[in-house]
C-alpha cells in the first residue's frame, strides 16, 4: 500500500537534538476565519524539560498542540522537532513515529477494545500493514503491557472494554497508551480535568518522574497541579506568549495576574 511518505523520512531518522533543544516553534500563526488562534507564537523546549503551559480558555494552547502533532497546519511560521524534522511538512502518523505522542483534552481511547488491546495498539513497534497482519505479541511485549497496566493502575480492568471505564480511568489509560508508545516528546492536554484530588496527585508524580528521560509539555488549568510539577511555566494569551519563567515569578507578574490569575 503505497501512500506518499515524506521522502526525507525513514525509521532510523533520529531526532537531532545536538543543540540541546528538542522543539522550536517560531512565529507560528494559525487563523480560523480571520480570528488568530495563534499569533506569531514563539516557544522553545530543552530536551528533557517539563514545561507547563497555562492561559485562559481560548488562549490557543490546544491549537499549539494541534500544530505540533500535525493536526493543524499553520498559516505561517515554522515548527521543528530537533533541528531536522519540519513538523509542518509531516503527516500525523509520521510525527508520531519520530517520537511525538499526544494526549487529547477529551480522553480518547478505543472504547470497543479491551484495556489490554488499547495498550497493545499503542505499544512501540512496527506500524506496517504486513507486520500487523501477522504480528504476535512477544513475551517481552506482554511484559511491557503488564507493566503499563500496573503503572496506570488498571491491571484488574485489563479485559474490560475501555468504554466501560470511569472518566478518570480513561484519562489514565490514555496516559498509559502514551507511555507504551514511548515518545521523546509528550504533549499532555489537561490531564487532570475531572480527576479526584488523589488521582491528580498521582498524575503529578507520574509526569514529574518522566521528566529528564522525556520532554513533557503539560497544558493545565488546575493551578495547584501546576504548582506541584512546574519548573518552567509559559503563559499564553490571545495566541501569544505573555510570560515565561519559574512559577514564583509568573505568580508575581502583573500582566499575568490581570489576564489570568486574578480572574
Ligand X SMILES: Nc1ncnc2c1ncn2[C@@H]1O[C@H](COP(=O)(O)OP(=O)(O)O)[C@@H](O)[C@H]1O
Residue with Cβ nearer ligand X (122 or 192):
192
User: Taking CB under 6 A as the rule, does residue 32 contact ligand X?
Assistant: yes
Q: Binding segment for ligand X among 50-58, 116-124, 193-201, 253-261 (CB under 6 A)?
A: 50-58
Q: Which of 11, 46, 59, 25 is nearest to 236 (CA)?
A: 59
User: Taking CB under 8 A as the rule, does residue 97 contact another protein?
Assistant: yes
User: Taking CB under 8 A as the rule, does residue 199 contact another protein?
Assistant: no
Q: Which of 47, 49, 120, 253 binds another protein (CB under 8 A)?
A: 120
Residue 253: CB partners within 8 Å, gap ≥ 6?
235, 243, 245
Q: How many CB atoms lie within 10 A of CB 178?
A: 23
Smallest distance from the beta carbon of 122 to another protein, in angstroms? 5
58 binds, among ligand X, another protein, Mg ion, none (CB under 5 to 8 A by kind): ligand X
Helices and strands in the chain: count of H runs, count of E runs = 10, 10
Q: Binding segment for another protein among 38-46, 50-58, 117-125, 231-239 (CB under 8 A)?
A: 117-125
User: Taking CB under 8 A as the rule, does residue 55 contact another protein?
Assistant: no
User: Taking CB under 8 A as the rule, does residue 111 contact another protein?
Assistant: yes
Residue 246: CB partners within 8 Å, gap ≥ 6?
230, 231, 232, 233
DSSP-based three-state secondary structure for 192: coil
Amino acid at each position: 500500500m503505497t501512500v506518499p511518505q515524506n521522502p526525507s523520512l525513514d525509521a532510523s531518522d533520529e531526532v537531532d537534538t545536538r543543540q540541546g533543544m528538542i522543539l522550536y516553534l517560531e512565529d507560528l500563526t494559525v487563523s480560523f476565519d480571520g480570528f488568530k488562534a495563534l499569533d506569531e507564537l514563539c516557544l522553545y523546549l530543552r530536551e528533557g524539560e517539563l514545561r507547563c503551559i497555562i492561559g485562559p480558555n481560548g488562549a490557543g494552547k490546544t491549537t499549539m498542540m494541534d500544530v505540533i502533532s500535525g493536526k493543524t497546519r499553520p498559516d505561517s511560521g515554522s515548527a521543528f522537532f530537533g533541528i531536522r524534522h519540519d513538523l509542518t511538512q509531516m503527516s500525523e502518523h509520521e510525527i508520531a513515529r519520530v517520537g511525538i505522542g499526544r494526549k487529547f483534552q477529551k480522553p480518547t481511547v478505543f472504547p470497543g477494545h479491551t484495556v489490554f488491546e488499547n495498550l497493545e495498539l499503542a505499544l512501540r513497534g512496527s506500524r506496517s500493514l504486513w507486520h500487523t497482519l501477522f504480528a504476535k505479541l512477544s513475551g517481552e511485549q506482554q511484559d511491557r503491557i503488564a507493566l503499563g497496566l500496573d503503572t496506570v493502575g488498571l491491571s484488574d480492568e485489563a479485559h474490560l472494554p475501555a468504554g466501560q471505564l470511569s472518566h478518570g480511568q480513561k484519562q489514565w489509560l490514555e496516559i498509559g497508551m502514551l507511555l507504551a508508545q514511548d515518545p521523546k516528546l509528550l504533549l499532555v492536554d489537561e490531564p487532570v480535568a475531572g480527576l479526584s484530588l488523589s488521582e491528580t496527585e498521582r498524575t503529578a508524580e507520574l509526569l514529574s518522574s518522566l521528566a529528564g528521560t522525556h520532554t513533557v509539555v503539560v497544558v493545565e488549568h488546575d493551578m495547584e497541579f501546576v504548582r506541584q510539577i512546574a519548573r518552567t511555566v509559559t503563559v499564553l494569551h490571545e495566541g501569544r506568549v505573555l510570560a515565561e519563567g519559574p512559577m514564583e515569578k509568573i505568580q508575581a507578574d502583573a500582566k499575568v495576574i490581570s489576564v489570568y490569575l486574578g480572574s
